Structure 1
Amino acid sequence: MLRTITNLNASIRGKPIKLALKIPFLYFLVILLSVAFSYVVFNQISTNSAQNKINEASFQTLTSIQTNVEFMVENVNNYSKMIFSDENLQNLLRQGNVYANLPTQSKVSLYLYNLMQAVPMIDSVYIFDNSGNLFSVGTEQSPTFTRANVHDAQWYSQVVAQKGKYILKLNGSGAFTGNADQNFVSFIRLIRDLDDTSPLGVLVINIKGDAFVKVYSNLPNPTALPFAILDESNQIIAANATEDVPLALFQQMQASYDQLAKPTLRQTNAGFLPLKSGSQSYTVSYLSGGSSKWTFVSMTPHNVIRTINKSLVLLALVLLIINGAVFFVTSFMISRSIIQPIHRLLRSMSTAKSGRFQKVPATRNSYEFQQLFIGYNNMIEQIDQLLKRIIEEQHTLRKAELNTLQAQIKPHFLYNTLDSITSLALSGLNDQVCDLLEALGGYYRASVSKGRDIITVGEEVEMVRNYLKIQQARYRDIFEVEYDVDESCYSYSIPKLVLQPLVENSLYHGIRSKGTKGTIRIRARRAGGMLTIAVADDGIGMSEEKVAQIIRSERNGQSQSFGLWGTLERLRIFYDDRSHFRIDSEPGKGTAITLFIPVGEEA
Structure 2
Amino acid sequence: MVNKSGSERRQKKKNNTLSTRINRVVLTILILIIISFLVSIYIITERERKEYEIREAENTIKTLSSNINSELESYMELSRLIMMEDRLVKFLRADGTSVDIGMINDARYGIMDILNVTGGVDSVIVIRDDLIMARTNRFTYKFDYNKLSSDEWKQDILVKKGKAVISLNSNGIATKQDGKPVVTIGRTVYDNVNQKKRGVMLMNISANVLDIMLNELRYDNICIMGEDGSYLAGNRSLLKYYDSTFDRSTVFHEDIKENREKIMISGAKVENTPIIILRVSNFGTQGIPYSILFMLCVLLLIYLVGMTYLGGFVTRNITDPVSQLSESMERNKASGELKPIETHIPDGELNELKNDYNSLIGHVNELIETLLEQEKTLQKAEMRVLQEQIKPHFLYNSIETIGFLALDAGADNVHDALETLGSFYRNFLSKGGRDIPLSREISIVKDYLSLQALRYGDIINAEYDISPETERVVVPKLILQPLVENSIYHGIRLKGEKGLIKISSFMKDGMLHLIVRDTGVGMTEEEIEGIFETSDDDNEDQMSKSFGLKGTIERLRIYNNSEDVVRIRSEVGEYTEIEFMIKDSRSGE
- The residue that corresponds to 1:454 in the other structure is 434
- The residue that corresponds to 1:435 in the other structure is 416
- The residue that corresponds to 2:204 in the other structure is 206
Distance 1:45 1:567, change over 3 A: same
Match of 2:242 among 237, 248, 254: 248
Contact kept? 1:66, 1:296, Cα under 8 Å: no
Q: How many residues align?
A: 534
For residues 37-60 of structure 1, the C-alpha deviation after alignment (integer angstroms, 9 at most, x for no partner) is 766765565455434533443344
Distance 1:310 1:506, change over 3 A: same
Matched letter for residue 53 of structure 1: Y
- The residue that corresponds to 1:223 in the other structure is 220
Distance 1:83 1:448, change over 3 A: closer
Is residue 2:493 matched to residue 1:520?
Answer: no
- The residue that corresponds to 1:144 in the other structure is 144
Matched letter for residue 245 of structure 2: Q
Q: CA deviation at 1:148?
A: 3.4
Match of 2:577 among 579, 591, 599: 591
Q: CA deviation at 1:361?
A: 3.4
- The residue that corresponds to 1:153 in the other structure is 154
- The residue that corresponds to 1:134 in the other structure is 133
Distance 2:324 2:154 in 1: 100
Is residue 2:458 matched to residue 1:479?
Answer: no
For residues 193-235 of structure 1, the C-alpha deviation after alignment (integer angstroms, 9 at most, x for no partner) is 9999999875433234565356423332x332456577xxx99
Of the structure 1 ranges 475-484 and 313-322, higher mean CA displacement relative to structure 2 is found in: 313-322
- The residue that corresponds to 2:352 in the other structure is 371
TM-score (norm 2): 0.65
Matched letter for residue 590 of structure 1: T
Distance 2:132 2:275 in 1: 35
For residues 417-470 of structure 1, the C-alpha deviation after alignment (integer angstroms, 9 at most, x for no partner) is x9xx9xxx9xx99432233233334444554447x4635336555443432221
Matched letter for residue 565 of structure 2: F
Distance 1:586 1:192 in 2: 99
Distance 1:524 1:77 in 2: 89
Matched letter for residue 582 of structure 1: V
Contact kept? 2:126, 2:202, Cα under 8 Å: yes
Contact kept? 1:188, 1:204, Cα under 8 Å: yes
Q: CA deviation at 1:359?
A: 1.5
Matched letter for residue 584 of structure 1: I
Q: CA deviation at 1:591?
A: 1.2
- The residue that corresponds to 2:5 in the other structure is none
Give SS of 1:154's match. helix
- The residue that corresponds to 2:448 in the other structure is 467
Give SS of 2:577's match. strand
- The residue that corresponds to 1:4 in the other structure is none
Distance 1:210 1:386, change over 3 A: same
Distance 1:277 1:139 in 2: 45
Contact kept? 2:462, 2:501, Cα under 8 Å: yes
Q: CA deviation at 1:252?
A: 0.7
Give SS of 2:148's match. coil
Give SS of 1:542's match. coil
Is residue 2:488 matched to residue 1:507?
Answer: yes
Q: CA deviation at 1:564?
A: 1.4
Give SS of 2:64's match. helix
- The residue that corresponds to 1:304 in the other structure is 283
Contact kept? 1:360, 1:373, Cα under 8 Å: yes
Give SS of 2:340's match. coil
Contact kept? 1:503, 1:520, Cα under 8 Å: no
Give SS of 1:432's match. helix
> Where in structure 2 are there 5+ consecutive unaligned residues?
1-15, 385-390
Distance 1:22 1:128 in 2: 92
Q: CA deviation at 1:308?
A: 6.6
Q: CA deviation at 1:582?
A: 0.7
Q: CA deviation at 1:471?
A: 1.4
Distance 1:67 1:273, change over 3 A: closer
Matched letter for residue 223 of structure 1: D
Distance 1:81 1:46, change over 3 A: same
Contact kept? 1:520, 1:537, Cα under 8 Å: yes
For residues 481-509 of structure 1, the C-alpha deviation after alignment (integer angstroms, 9 at most, x for no partner) is 52737588658474x44432223123333
Distance 1:244 1:392 in 2: 96
Distance 1:552 1:87 in 2: 111
For residues 314-356 of structure 1, the C-alpha deviation after alignment (integer angstroms, 9 at most, x for no partner) is 9999888877766655554444442443455456667699994
Contact kept? 1:129, 1:201, Cα under 8 Å: yes
Distance 1:517 1:80, change over 3 A: closer
For residues 103-142 of structure 1, the C-alpha deviation after alignment (integer angstroms, 9 at most, x for no partner) is 6756877999999999996554423357641144445553
Distance 1:481 1:18 in 2: 78
Contact kept? 1:581, 1:596, Cα under 8 Å: yes
Q: CA deviation at 1:381?
A: 3.2
The aligned runs of 1:278-317 (5 Å cut-off) are 284=266, 297-298=277-278, 304=283, 309=288
Is residue 2:302 matched to residue 1:338?
Answer: no
Contact kept? 2:225, 2:231, Cα under 8 Å: yes
> Where in structure 1 are there 5+ consecutive unaligned residues?
1-16, 262-271, 404-409
Distance 2:108 2:425 in 1: 136
Contact kept? 2:567, 2:580, Cα under 8 Å: yes
Distance 1:92 1:497, change over 3 A: closer
Distance 1:590 1:51 in 2: 82
- The residue that corresponds to 1:407 in the other structure is none
Q: CA deviation at 1:373?
A: 1.9
Give SS of 2:578's match. strand
Give SS of 1:503's match. helix
Distance 1:568 1:395 in 2: 32
Of the structure 1 ranges 368-377 and 20-29, higher mean CA displacement relative to structure 2 is found in: 20-29
The aligned runs of 1:71-90 (5 Å cut-off) are 73=72
Of the structure 1 ranges 105-114 and 142-151, higher mean CA displacement relative to structure 2 is found in: 105-114
Distance 2:183 2:242 in 1: 21
Q: CA deviation at 1:518?
A: 0.9
Distance 1:313 1:547 in 2: 74
- The residue that corresponds to 1:538 in the other structure is 518
Matched letter for residue 49 of structure 2: A
Distance 1:76 1:471, change over 3 A: closer
Of the structure 1 ranges 333-342 and 383-392, higher mean CA displacement relative to structure 2 is found in: 383-392
Contact kept? 2:207, 2:232, Cα under 8 Å: yes
Distance 1:506 1:180 in 2: 119
For residues 165-190 of structure 1, the C-alpha deviation after alignment (integer angstroms, 9 at most, x for no partner) is x6533344455578999753223468
- The residue that corresponds to 1:11 in the other structure is none
- The residue that corresponds to 1:58 in the other structure is 57
Q: CA deviation at 1:594?
A: 1.0
Contact kept? 2:269, 2:276, Cα under 8 Å: yes
Distance 1:551 1:188, change over 3 A: closer
Identity, in percent, stands at 22
Is residue 2:201 matched to residue 1:170?
Answer: no
Distance 1:342 1:448, change over 3 A: farther
Distance 2:352 2:77 in 1: 95
- The residue that corresponds to 1:563 in the other structure is 548
Distance 1:310 1:490, change over 3 A: same
Distance 1:308 1:140 in 2: 48
Distance 1:366 1:209, change over 3 A: farther
Distance 1:31 1:243 in 2: 50
